[in-house]
Structure 1
Amino acid sequence: MTTERKISRFFNLTDSNWMKHANPWSVGTRYTVLPLIIIAFWSRIWLGWWFLIPAALSISWIFLNPVMFCKPKSTKNWASKAVMGERVYLNRDKVKIPPVHKTVLLPLLNIISSIGMGIAIWAIVEYSIWGAVIGTVLAYLGKSWYLDRMVWLYEDMKENHQEYLDWEY
């Protein structure tokens, strides 16, 4: 079982929920997660222990976001294809992906995102606006590039696998 499949189970991404997550609104609003968490934890200086309320809400958004939107009217867009590509990638232990997609780039992009997250966490502790900005930019740069590679993967795989092609409408 791939790590991505374990993560998708943790987020309750069933077939139906994957399609909800393929809604461009889900993908787009997912980019609000890190800034909301940063602001929520920074609010501890103004709210004291009451900061736990916005912190809990912002962390809840991580879990609610992928499943709270309805199935998209169309999946013929970048955001939907990125999510469908993630599904293809997590399924690579069952359906082989082309060698061109098995590069060091994907782990590298996840490392870039992780470094960005680390900087953002440091920025939360130190109240560093520049750390928060740089961390968020790095995290989202790595994630956005990763998603773009998932679109490419989906486009390469859909014509040879009816299940994948059926996701597009």
Structure 2
Amino acid sequence: MTPPAQMRWLGMTARVWQRHASGWSVWTRFATLPFLLAAIWSHVWIGTAGAVTAVAAVAVWLWLNPRLFPPPRRTDRWHVRATFGERVWLNRMAVPIPPAEARAALALSLVTGAGFLAAVWGAAETNLLTTATGLVVTYVGKLAFLDRMVRLYETMKTAHPLYKAWSQVPVNDNRRGGTRR
């Protein structure tokens, strides 16, 4: 099964998605929004060219992030299941998801997107209240979305062999002391 076009364009292969499920990847990426907003805001201190460079550095980090960390050792963690749920959501055209889940995920995506746009606008206009409000709405929306993705993955993990395989972590049975799950 080929990944959706937008994921292929970003280089999000199955291997990269597995690495992105790492707690280090999820939480360091999650913590990046304030740095992006600071990079945008920085145009008042370092000029437009400097701010564009800072934003580009954050964008490079966001692209590199899911490639830097090893895959998780366990797949029963919240952040791992949230990442798997995002993959299910992105693959919904190939393997349909329950309509209620689709509506909820779309609504939460819109809330998150609106918060993000407000935060970016506030940072560009150097308006602290708009930036902070947008940041909070983005984080609350994204956490609610990720929680919904956990529920989606739990619903869909047996719906397709591909999804079932994601939770299988290869173990080396030659390891001294047995295997870990």
TM-score, length-scaled by structure 2 = 0.82
Larger helix share, 1 or 2: 1
Q: Superposition RMSD on alpha carbons, in Å?
A: 1.8
Q: Residue 140 of structure 2 corresponds to which residue in structure 1?
A: 141
Describe how 1:26-41 pairs up with structure 2 within 5 A.
26-41=25-40
* Aligned residue identity for 1:24: G
TM-fit CA distance, 1:8: 1.6
Q: Which structure 1 residue ranges, 5 or more long, are not aligned?
A: none
Does the 8 A contact of 1:40 with 1:51 survive in 2?
A: yes
Describe how 1:57-68 pairs up with structure 2 within 5 A.
57-68=57-68
Q: Residue 111 of structure 2 corresponds to which residue in structure 1?
A: 112
Deviations 1:100-146 (A, max 9, x none): 423x2222111111111121122112211221111111112112111
Paired residues, number: 165
Tell which has more relative contact order, 1 or 2 (C-alpha 8 A, sep 6+): 1
Q: Residue 150 of structure 1 corresponds to which residue in structure 2?
A: 149
TM-fit CA distance, 1:91: 2.0
Does the 8 A contact of 2:108 with 2:145 survive in 1?
A: yes
Q: Which structure 2 residue ranges, 5 or more long, are not aligned?
A: 170-181
Does the 8 A contact of 1:20 with 1:70 survive in 2?
A: yes
TM-fit CA distance, 1:150: 0.9
Q: Residues 132 and 80 (structure 1 numbering): CA distance in 2 closer, same or farther, change over 3 Å?
A: same
Deviations 1:40-89 (A, max 9, x none): 12222222233333222112122122222111111211111011111112
Worse-matched range after superposition: 61-70 or 132-141? 61-70
Among the aligned pairs, what percent are the same residue? Answer: 37
State the structure with more CA Rg. 2
* Aligned residue identity for 2:128: I
